[in-house]
Amino acid sequence: MPYDLDHMKSIVLPPTLKALLPPEIQGECEAGLIKKQDRVFLAGAMPVWMFYVISGEVTLERSGMHGESVVLQRTRQGFISEASLKVARYHCDAVAISDTHVIKVPVKALTKSLDQDPAFASRWIHMLNSEVRRLRLHLERLNMKSIRDRLIHLIETEGKDGQFPIPSGLKTLAGELGVTHEALYRAIATLQSEGLLKKEDGRLILKRD
């Protein structure tokens, strides 16, 4: 079941969210904590809140052809399920991979402001464009046949300085790459044996020449 966030009312908006949202919406936002492995929302539920991740990690997941979880989106900071703003029901589950702090933004107020405030609508579109670029990279990665290539692509495009954090472990990362965790372990072991990758302090690090 989704975690009950309604009891957490005190809120401090992060600077990026405060710069994005109009003041009238900021006053309607709420803070929440989702415990590890709890659902933020379930497929089929009606969207009432837009969730902004402050810290922690949330994935959007669907069941694959063989019952495995397929990760559609991973968020460590920013909005999750932006596409749900204009739909009647969620099309996937949102799962907290670690204890996660979020800001809840009311969908009804958000939609109204987007329709009436051109400046806010422009800021929102800019934010969505950044997310589209990230999702395109994700799709490009999933089209790669080699697990090795997918892993290197992930570290290079979404990591920083050749380093990619894996606070929730390799099983979660395997879901993001669309492979089994056994296959990912083998790919990492091969890259380590070749001296191209190392794993330390919850990070994967590409070794540079």
Domains of the chain by residue range: 15-116, 147-206
Report the CATH number of the 15-116 domain.
2.60.120.10
The three-state DSSP-derived secondary structure of the chain is CECCCCCCCCCCCCHHHHHHCCHHHHCCCEEEEECCCCEEECCCCCCCEEEEEEEEEEEEEEECCCCCEEEEEEECCEEECHHHHHCCCCCCEEEEEEEEEEEEEEHHHHHHHHHHCHHHHHHHHHHHHHHHHHHHHHHHHHCCCCHHHHHHHHHHHHCECCEEECCCCHHHHHHHHCCCHHHHHHHHHHHHHCCCEEEECCEEEECCC
Dihedral angle of Cα 41, 124, 178, 87, to the nearest 10 degrees: 50
Which CATH architecture group holds 147-206? Orthogonal Bundle (1.10)
**Identical fold between 15-116 and 147-206:** no
| pLDDT tens, the chain, 209 aa long | 444 444 445 578 989 899 999 999 999 999 999 999 999 999 999 999 999 999 888 989 887 666 667 788 888 888 998 878 888 899 899 999 889 999 999 999 999 999 999 999 999 999 888 888 877 888 888 889 899 999 999 998 888 889 988 877 788 788 778 888 899 999 999 999 999 999 888 889 998 76
Q: Are 95 and 58 in contact (CB under 8 A)?
A: yes
- Name the one residue in this structure whose structure tokens are 């989106």: 73
Q: Rounded CA gap, 24 and 38, in Å?
A: 30
Query: Virtual CA dihedral for 12, 18, 24, 25, nearest 10 degrees?
Result: -80
pLDDT at position 67: 65
